[in-house]
């Protein structure tokens, strides 16, 4: 007979090929949540298979549907839908009522994810001087122009505004095929637009804006929090450091080696620098002057999208004439 090694309980339980993991846990009075009574509908009996995934029975249709909906990786299984053909080690995941509440919410938000993304961190420098030296209307006018400009570039290259807090903006690039190239094109477009905006601001008697940007590419953990999500991972910290180093060096835009290498043949490098990193030595960084490849074709809106916008225009027509 096969053995089910159960964590965090540290129990070794015999399991028949006709039994589900949930049945074995219940028979041995191991506390396991099962809100839908083993019908494959709630996911509260979920477990992580730490060893022997290949000796677990394939997902049932119900489990397949739930796993797809919640974005479960292969080793997260529903114990009520899973049997074994040999020794398996599992860990219970839903321990108490709070875990049940979180599992319930995940039907709307998913469980979060860990994947490679490009991160663009930008900081509007001299923000506090700017606040003190301007009347509220002036500050709003200038900041509205600035954020409009940033949003236009981010939208154009399919980035996602992750946070805009104080003078710092974080943008993620995980939608387009090549996040690195999109992040770099966004940063170059913003730098270019900022030059024009600064000319306008000077003509209007405002001080020009100073912006620094850092881009890095690496794995990030995104966990749902309320309507939003929290972002964690070294890649974010490193992009922040690169942005701060750009400010130290009076450079507008720096990218890491991880961003530069795949794009090396497409970039015009103005300077190569090395940023000291505690424990790691020195990190090569690149100041990029331009990209020498043509812009990707903009994606045309789909036919249903165009139909929808056409219908909206007709619906707005009488309102506009009043
Ligand atoms: S007990 Fe509900 S899905 Fe397993």
Ligand 1 close to Cβ of residue 40 (< 6 A)? yes
Report if residue 22 sits inside a domain: yes
18 and 135 inside one domain: no
Q: Give the ipTM of the model, two decimals please.
A: 0.99
Q: Kindly give the distance from the C-alpha atom of residue 18 to the centroid of ligand 1, in angstroms, as a whole number.
A: 18
120 and 252 inside one domain: yes
Which residue segment(s) compose the domain that 175 sits in?
Answer: 113-291
Ligand 1 close to Cβ of residue 45 (< 6 A)? yes
Domain end: 65, 94, 109, which one?
109
275 exposure class (CB count in 10 Å sphere: 0-12, 13-18, 19+): buried
pLDDT at position 300 = 58
121 and 206 inside one domain: yes
Taking 50 as the pLDDT cut, the residues of the chain under it are 128, 317-322
The CATH number that applies at residue 32 is: 3.10.20.30
pLDDT at position 135 = 60
Report if residue 121 sits inside a domain: yes
Atom of ligand 1 nearest to the CA of 46: 4
- Which of 20, 31, 34, 100 is the best mutation target for the ligand 1 pocket, counting ligand atoms within 8 Å of the beta carbon and taking the most? 34
d(CA 3, CA 222): 35
The CATH number that applies at residue 281 is: 3.30.70.1230
Q: Kindly give the distance from the C-alpha atom of residue 66 to the centroid of ligand 1, in angstroms, as a whole number.
A: 10
Report if residue 6 sits inside a domain: yes
152 and 100 inside one domain: no
pLDDT tens sequence across 251-304: 999 999 999 999 999 999 999 999 998 877 899 999 999 988 877 765 655 666
133 and 29 inside one domain: no
Q: Considering only CA atoms, which of 45, 49, 37 is closest in space to residue 79?
A: 45
Domain end: 80, 109, 138, which one?
109
Report if residue 307 sits inside a domain: no
228 and 270 inside one domain: yes
- Which of 23, 24, 41 is the best mutation target for the ligand 1 pocket, counting ligand atoms within 8 Å of the beta carbon and taking the most? 41
- Bridge partners of 253, per DSSP, are 213
Count the domains in the chain.
2
Q: Considering only CA atoms, which of 118, 127, 124 is closest in space to residue 150?
A: 124
Domain end: 109, 136, 163, which one?
109
52 and 100 inside one domain: yes
Atom of ligand 1 nearest to the CA of 78: 4
72 and 125 inside one domain: no
211 and 287 inside one domain: yes
Atom 3, ligand 1: residue with shortest CA distance: 40
154 and 215 inside one domain: yes
Report if residue 169 sits inside a domain: yes
Compute CA distances 293 → 36, 146, 263, 317, whole Å. 55, 27, 10, 42
Compute CA distances 245 → 29, 249, 273, 278, whole Å. 57, 6, 10, 14
d(CA 196, CA 203): 11
Which ranges of 12-112 would DSSP assign to H, the alpha helix?
A: 21-27, 61-70, 97-109
Residue pointed to by tokens 């489990």: 63
Residues in contact with 277: Cβ distance below 8 Å, sequence separation at least 6, in sequence order:
241, 283
Report if residue 237 sits inside a domain: yes
Q: Report the relative pairing of strands 46-51 and 11-15 from DSSP bridges.
A: unpaired
141 and 282 inside one domain: yes
Atom of ligand 1 nearest to the CA of 38: 1
Ligand 1 close to Cβ of residue 34 (< 6 A)? yes
- Which of 44, 64, 67 is the best mutation target for the ligand 1 pocket, counting ligand atoms within 8 Å of the beta carbon and taking the most? 44
Report if residue 320 sits inside a domain: no
d(CA 39, CA 43): 9
11 and 50 inside one domain: yes
Instruction: Yes or no: say if 90 and 50 are a contact pair by the CB < 8 Å rule.
Output: yes
Report if residue 303 sits inside a domain: no
């Amino acid at each position: 007979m096969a053995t089910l090694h159960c964590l965090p309980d540290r129990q070794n339980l015999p399991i028949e090929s006709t039994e589900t993991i949930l049945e074995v846990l219940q028979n041995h009075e191991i506390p396991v949540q099962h809100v839908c009574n083993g019908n494959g509908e709630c996911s509260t009996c979920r477990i992580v298979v730490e060893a022997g995934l290949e000796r677990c029975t394939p997902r049932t249709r119900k489990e397949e549907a739930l796993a797809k909906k919640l974005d479960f990786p292969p080793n997260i299984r529903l114990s009520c839908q899973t049997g074994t053909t040999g020794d398996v080690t599992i860990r219970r995941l839903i321990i108490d009522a709070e875990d049940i509440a979180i599992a319930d919410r995940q039907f709307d938000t998913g469980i979060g994810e860990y994947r490679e993304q490009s991160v663009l961190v930008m900081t509007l420098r001299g923000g506090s001087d700017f606040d003190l030296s301007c009347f509220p209307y002036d500050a709003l006018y200038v900041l509205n122009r600035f954020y409009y400009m940033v949003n236009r570039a981010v939208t154009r290259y399919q980035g996602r505004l992750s946070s805009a807090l104080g003078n710092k903006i974080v943008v993620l690039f995980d939608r387009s095929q090549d996040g690195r190239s999109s992040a770099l094109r966004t940063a170059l477009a913003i730098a270019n637009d900022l030059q024009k905006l600064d000319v306008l601001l000077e003509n209007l008697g405002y001080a020009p804006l100073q912006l620094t940007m850092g881009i890095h590419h690496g794995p990030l953990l995104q966990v749902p929090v309320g309507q939003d999500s929290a972002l964690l991972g070294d890649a974010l910290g490193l992009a922040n450091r690169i942005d701060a180093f750009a400010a130290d060096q009076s450079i507008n835009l720096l990218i890491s080696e991880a961003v530069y290498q795949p794009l090396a043949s497409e970039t015009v490098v103005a300077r190569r620098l090395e940023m000291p990193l505690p424990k790691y030595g020195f990190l090569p960084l690149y100041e990029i002057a331009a990209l020498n490849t043509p812009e990707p074709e903009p994606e045309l809106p789909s036919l249903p999208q165009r139909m929808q916008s056409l219908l909206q225009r007709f619906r707005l027509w009488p309102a506009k004439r009043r």
